[in-house]
């Protein structure tokens, strides 16, 4: 019966994703995560392993294979070894009833662990992979106190999944799992779409799994999660601060393009997986991936001095240090919040022709004219010289990148919608042109690149860009010389970013 453990071809390499929020882990990725661990762990008959968000069962299956080989000397009988591994070492919590069946099929070779087709007999159908339907716990504001979803969308009947995951919907996790684990490993659900404000509005939930896993104090923790937490993500500020200051994260593999990890899956900002070691502190070994290639590996802190976000490009660290040594003010002080004049992008109550006292209005794809009383805020910017920049800009398959759209001049007596950010204001058109020459440099956009990991150009992505003297125009050659960049640093910038010509705009 133990021969059923041989899987060829591997069906888990072929399965489609369950949904946009639930991405299945390819076997090669699961094994790359397991390779980060000390392999003697798989020779320890007392080691325990947990996947708290089982989908396909891939992690438990691949751990079982390693234990089957690693314990051969200490438990020579193959069936006895299988029984020991599956009953005393491998545990899982499924995220849905469907994935519980799939995970059991992957691990036990039967969707029911008590079946005669199971590779090891259990007294019940669950085995060590449990699933319980959990309901959200609503607070007075109509949100779940554990994950923050709205009651209107997720207070459901029994015919629908609640997406209230058992591992994260409990105050004291030890009440659920009163045992010590040597490894917690998972690819947790990433987000829940709640369908308000805009069609694709979603809240992240993967960080809840990481935080809950740490409460169990395993020897090792590894998870694969979206990389947005490096610099952004709705409601991830506390999680980011904790992660970046946690010197027990000893290995981080970064995939700026999620397709390199999950073929056919587009996850904005990419993905990463990490190894957290409870008993070992120090700098983190950061590896950056592109396709099947590891571009670089550097041991460094996750949080560089004077930064509040993670700098994902290893090659850029020396650039950051050289720029920071000048101690100049940040360009971010001249970047407006989103919706600079209080006009949302869908606002269309404007005239197509100018009229007496009208104010020119820019919105994506349209140009019109407004009355003064139609501008809800920051009217004092209207009569000044300024620069407009697309609030969102992203590219697919155009490497090297722009990272920003083309800025354009915002003349006096003009305003814009939420489609644009406002840069400035400035004293003259000439000064605006000088600023735009700076924004078009690869130097400027390289420093944007260090923080930006989604399409949005919020003001914080300009934090690392230093202010210059805008009495003149700027070129990359002048900036490289000013900050003392060497050949490798210049080559890195030039390889990452395309030139931006002067002509054209985003208006």
Could you report the average pLDDT of every consecutive run of 10 residues in the chain (507 residues)?
A: 49 48 86 98 98 96 97 97 98 94 94 94 95 92 90 82 91 87 97 62 91 96 95 87 97 95 88 97 95 92 87 91 94 93 92 95 92 96 96 64 86 96 97 97 92 73 94 97 97 91 55
C-beta atoms surrounding 472 within 10 Å:
11
Q: CATH number of the domain at 2-310, please?
A: 3.40.50.150
The long-range contacts involving 7-10, CB below 8 angstroms and separated by at least 24 positions, are 7/61
Q: How is residue 494 written in tokens?
A: 């030039």
What pLDDT does 16 receive? 42
Q: Assign 3-state DSSP to the chain and report helix, strand, coil percentages, each to 5.
A: 30, 20, 50
Distance CA 207, CA 78 (A): 39
**Which pLDDT value is given to residue 116?**
93
pLDDT at 225: 97
Both tokens assigned to 45: 């008959």
Helix (H) or strand (E) holding 434: helix 429-439
Domain 324-496 grouped into CATH 3.40.50: no
The CATH 3.90.220 domain(s) of the chain lie at 324-496
**Which two three-digit tokens encode residue 50?**
């947990």
Which backbone phi and psi does 426 adopt, to 5 degrees?
-125, 175
Whole-angstrom Cα distance, residue 172 to residue 190? 22
Give the tokens for residue 261: 């990890």
pLDDT of res. 370: 96
Cβ atoms 220, 250 nearer than 8 A = no
What separation in angstroms does the CA of 233 have from each of 55, 190, 260, 389?
Answer: 24, 11, 21, 22
């Amino acid at each position: 019966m133990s021969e059923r453990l041989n899987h060829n071809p591997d069906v888990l390499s072929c399965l489609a994703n369950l949904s946009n929020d639930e991405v299945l882990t390819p076997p090669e990725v699961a094994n790359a995560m397991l390779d980060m661990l000390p392999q003697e762990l798989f020779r320890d008959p007392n080691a325990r392993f947990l996947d708290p968000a089982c989908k396909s069962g891939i992690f438990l299956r691949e751990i079982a294979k390693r234990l089957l080989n690693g314990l051969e000397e200490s438990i020579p009988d193959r069936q006895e070894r299988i029984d020991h591994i599956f009953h005393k070492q491998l545990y899982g919590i499924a995220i849905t009833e469907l994935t519980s069946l799939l995970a059991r099929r992957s691990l036990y070779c039967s969707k029911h662990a008590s079946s005669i087709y199971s590779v090891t007999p259990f007294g019940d159908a669950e085995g060590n992979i449990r699933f319980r339907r959990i309901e959200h716990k609503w607070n007075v504001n109509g949100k779940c106190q554990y994950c923050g979803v709205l009651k209107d969308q997720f207070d459901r009947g029994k015919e629908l999944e609640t997406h209230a995951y058992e591992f994260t919907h409990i105050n004291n996790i030890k009440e659920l799992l009163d045992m010590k684990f040597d490894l917690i490993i998972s690819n947790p659900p990433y987000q829940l779409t709640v369908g308000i404000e805009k069609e694709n509005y979603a809240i992240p939930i993967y960080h809840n799994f990481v935080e809950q896993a740490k409460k169990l104090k395993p020897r090792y923790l590894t998870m694969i999660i979206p990389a947005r937490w490096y610099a952004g993500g709705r409601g991830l500020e506390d999680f980011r601060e904790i992660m970046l200051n946690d010197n027990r994260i000893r290995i981080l593999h970064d995939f700026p393009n999620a397709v390199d990890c999950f073929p056919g899956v587009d996850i904005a900002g990419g993905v990463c997986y990490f190894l957290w070691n409870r008993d070992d502190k120090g700098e983190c070994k950061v590896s950056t991936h592109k396709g099947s290639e590891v571009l670089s590996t550097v041991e460094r802190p996750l949080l560089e001095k004077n930064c509040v976000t993670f700098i994902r490009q290893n090659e850029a660290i020396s650039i950051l240090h050289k720029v920071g040594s000048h101690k100049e003010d940040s360009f971010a002080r001249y970047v407006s919040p989103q919706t600079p004049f209080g006009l949302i992008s869908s606002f269309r109550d404007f005239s197509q022709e100018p009229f007496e006292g009208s104010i020119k209005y820019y919105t994506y794809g349209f140009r019109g004219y407004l009355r003064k009383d139609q501008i809800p805020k920051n009217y004092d910017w209207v009569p000044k010289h300024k620069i407009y920049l697309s609030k969102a800009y992203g590219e697919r398959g155009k490497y090297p990148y722009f990272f920003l759209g083309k800025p354009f001049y915002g003349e006096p007596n003009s305003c814009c919608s939420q489609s644009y950010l406002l840069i400035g204001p400035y004293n003259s058109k000439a000064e605006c042109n000088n600023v735009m020459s700076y924004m078009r440099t690869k130097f400027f956009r390289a420093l944007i690149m260090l923080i930006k990991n989604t399409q949005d150009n919020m003001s914080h992505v300009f934090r690392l860009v230093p202010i210059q003297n805008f009495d003149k125009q700027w070129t990359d050659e002048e900036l490289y010389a000013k900050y003392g960049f060497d050949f490798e640093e210049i080559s890195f910038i030039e390889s990452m970013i395309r030139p931006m010509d002067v002509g054209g705009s985003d208006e």
